[in-house]
Amino acid sequence: MKRTFKTVVMSLLMIGFIVGIMTPIHAEESINEKLGVPIVVYGDNLTDEQKEKTRELLDVTNPEMVDEYNVTGQDLANYINGNPNARMFSSAKITMEEEGEGLTVNIVTPENITEVTNEMYSNALLTAGVENATVEVVSPVKVSGHSALTGIYKAYDVQGEELDKARMELANEELGVATDLAEDAGVDKDKVSELLTEIKKSIAEQNPASIEEIEQIITEKLNELEISLSEEDRQRLIDLFEKMRELDIDFDKVKSQLDDIASKVQDKIEDIINDEGFWKKVGNFFNDFFQLIKEFFTGLFN
């Protein structure tokens, strides 16, 4: 009985240890008087319980430290000519960053955002003109994730930073093409994001002057990445990037932001690899874990 009790206690301690390793330490909150407080936009169809859960997921512990808004189906219609009767659940937290910091997107609940990835959001937001911000996306229920863009657009609008409507609509179209290629054409989501990123970088480098040159870039990237598309899907890509070219988007700036995103991902990987303290904790955890297993089985057979 004593040994069983000891096993239970040690199990609880180990769970606490794991939580201790994985839980970040939060610094005391303070208001950034230059950039303002973070903006949180909640899907309008969330219940009170779901909204409270969303606050927890977005680490909103003090409502006075953020500006809070709801995003509605009417907002969807206003910003991107969407369905005003749409049900909105995706929510987002936007923290403005200093010039040159670039764009960072994090899906807090990837298990509930079923179609859109971090990279897809990043590509679409850069198309819309969003930069130098940290964006966190969350949903307490399973959704495709498309409506989160509208919440982000509203966050900029209420802060007086007007985004071009044509670019917002194009960004929404880009997200639709990306998710369709992944869901319907069967292309891996990461491959889709890589394809969009590489096309944008090539446009920045080559500055195509015609739709034929856009088509040539797309064909080259499809071949390089060994992606096979139907003629219809291929044409959708051509039409999408021709619209971007006609909007005269600064692809040099987009390329710079995309390079920053890739660099941040690499830096995070290297930080984890080089963090001796982290690996020591992991090693100690497994040492203690295997010792627990040994004592457990020793107690069973003695």
Q: 223-249: per-residue pLDDT in tens? A: 999 999 999 999 999 999 999 999 888
Select the highest-mean-pLDDT range: 119-123, 213-217, 293-297.
Answer: 213-217
- Predicted local confidence at residue 253, as pLDDT: 80
- Predicted local confidence at residue 22, as pLDDT: 47
231-246 vs 189-206: helix axis angle to the nearest 10? 40
- Predicted local confidence at residue 77, as pLDDT: 93
Pairing of strands 103-107, 133-138: parallel
Beta bridge partners of 103: 133
Window from 52-61, 65-74, 80-89, 248-257 with minimum mean pLDDT: 248-257
Using DSSP's 3-state secondary structure scheme, residue 243 falls into helix
pLDDT bucket at 6, cuts 50 / 70 / 90: very low
Better-scored residue on pLDDT, 89 or 270: 89
pTM for the whole thing? Answer: 0.73
Q: What are 196-222's pLDDT values in tens digits?
A: 999 999 999 999 999 999 999 999 999
Q: List CB contacts of 266: < 8 A, sequence separation 6 or more.
A: none
- Predicted local confidence at residue 276, as pLDDT: 58
Return d(Cα 161, Cα 282) in angstroms, integer. Answer: 45
Asked if the structure places residue 289 within a domain, the reply is no
- Predicted local confidence at residue 250, as pLDDT: 83
Asked if the structure places residue 25 within a domain, the reply is no
Asked if the structure places residue 284 within a domain, the reply is no
Q: Is the pLDDT of residue 12 over 50?
A: no
Using DSSP's 3-state secondary structure scheme, residue 170 falls into helix
Asked if the structure places residue 107 within a domain, the reply is yes
Q: Is the pLDDT of residue 271 over 60?
A: no
- Predicted local confidence at residue 63, as pLDDT: 84
Number of domains in the chain: 1
251-274 vs 189-206: helix axis angle to the nearest 10? 130
The arithmetic mean of pLDDT across residues 76-81, rounded, is 91
Return d(Cα 218, Cα 197) in angstroms, integer. Answer: 11
- Predicted local confidence at residue 272, as pLDDT: 44
Asked if the structure places residue 271 within a domain, the reply is yes
Asked if the structure places residue 203 within a domain, the reply is yes
Domain region containing 73? 2-11+40-277
- Predicted local confidence at residue 161, as pLDDT: 86
Mean pLDDT (the chain) is 83
For a pLDDT cut of 90, what percent of the chain falls above it? Answer: 62
Kindly report the number of other CB atoms within 10 A of residue 191's CB atom: 14
Asked if the structure places residue 20 within a domain, the reply is no
Return d(Cα 91, Cα 42) in angstroms, integer. Answer: 5
Asked if the structure places residue 114 within a domain, the reply is yes
> What are the structure tokens assigned to 149, written together?
């863009």
Give the 3-state DSSP-derived string for 98-123, with helices as H, strands as E and coil as C.
CCCCCEEEEECCCCCECCCCHHHHHH
Is 120 in contact with 144 (CB distance < 8 Å)? no
- Predicted local confidence at residue 255, as pLDDT: 78
